[in-house]
Amino acid sequence: MRTIQGPAIFLAQFVQQHAPYNTLDGLARWAADLGYIAVQLPTWTPEIFDLERAAHSATYCDELRGQLAAHGLVISELSTHLQGQLVAVHPAYDLLMDGFAPAPLRGRPAERRQWAVRQLELAARASQNLGLSAHATFSGALAWPYFYPWPQRPAGLVEEAFAELARCWRPILEAFGEAGVDLCFELHPGEDLHDGVTFERFLGAVADHPRACILFDPSHLLLQHMDPVRFLDHYHMRVRAFHVKDAEYEPNGRSGVYGGYQSWIDRAGRFRTPGAGKVDFACIFSRLAQYDYPGWAVLEWEDPLESATEGARKGAKFIRDQIVQVTDRAFDDFAASEGDSVRNRRILGL
């Protein structure tokens, strides 16, 4: 077993247009002051990270690591959540997804997808140059408009969607394989990979590619009424990234898991700052330690009630307090006795 690394913080929700949140140096100083020791970097914010340079310049990567080290920080992972979303887009979402692409590519879905694929390939090389072992992303979605089976889905629709999703991602998985980096899909409603069954479908379609892994975020499982702890029992061998985000679900007589088109604050299910929701993090951190999880515990803040700065402040302490410092010996070693095959047979009466 090994002790989970952390606390780390995903910076995507904290980038703003004013100091200290508008530069990497400012964000790094702020995160370090809160007690974080690593940052997960979004790759679509050029004001804090240049993906193209990181993929092609070892010097830039060295400078970036040095800049963060000056604050006592390292990089946990890079993230291409927005670019990954564009690898596979159903036409119903074209206009909405265009906002994630550069302006010249909007309204040109084929070219937008090519750009997204290249972004992921750059991320593989950048992760390698930075000495990272895992990368965070979304799968995109072709079948999501049909997640509820009414009207009845025609036979073969889901299978064709996952076959195409695999065709989109296979060359990207190969790029990550060549870079020696695990590609971790955050299982998330709105993505074709949103639970264990859909992840299994994808694994089958990509021939169990060894780099196809999971970013484990228990909040998305709880809001689907899944058991995040039992999820780890099933899929821990593929979990290579971890977002620490809480959630709560309060049953009522007006709306349910689909939300009724309401804003997050009014939903029965909503995200919370770690410790304010209903995710059993004590058990989750214990399971991850038991299963020898090799990565980081990364705060992701998405609370519709509490401020971002307060959520970040609380998150660092919460993660630190939850991390299990694994033991290097058994608790009953004091009662151990030497054994050999002859003595063992005598003990058994043989």
Domain boundaries, the chain: 5-347
User: CA 1 to CA 328: how far, in whole Å?
Assistant: 8
CATH of segment(s) 5-347:
3.20.20.150
Residue 59 in contact with residue 51, Cβ under 8 Å? no
Which pLDDT value is given to residue 243? 98
pLDDT at 331: 81
pLDDT confidence of residue 330: 83
DSSP state of 141: B
CA distance 165 to 159: 10
Kindly provide the residue ranges of all beta strands, DSSP E only, lying in the chain, ordered along the sequence.
5-10, 38-42, 74-80, 134-137, 182-186, 212-216, 239-244, 246-249, 269-272, 296-299
310-346 tens-digit pLDDT: 999 999 999 999 999 998 888 888 778 787 899 899 8
Contact 76, 298 (CB under 8 A): yes
What is the per-residue pLDDT across 130-150, written as a single tens digit (0 to 9) for each?
Answer: 999 999 999 999 999 999 999
Q: Which two tokens stand for residue 209?
A: 């590619």
Q: Which residues of the chain have pLDDT under 50?
A: none
Q: Which residues pair with 244 in a beta bridge?
A: 299
pLDDT digits (tens, 9 = 90+) for 227-250: 999 999 999 999 999 999 999 999
- Predicted model pTM: 0.96
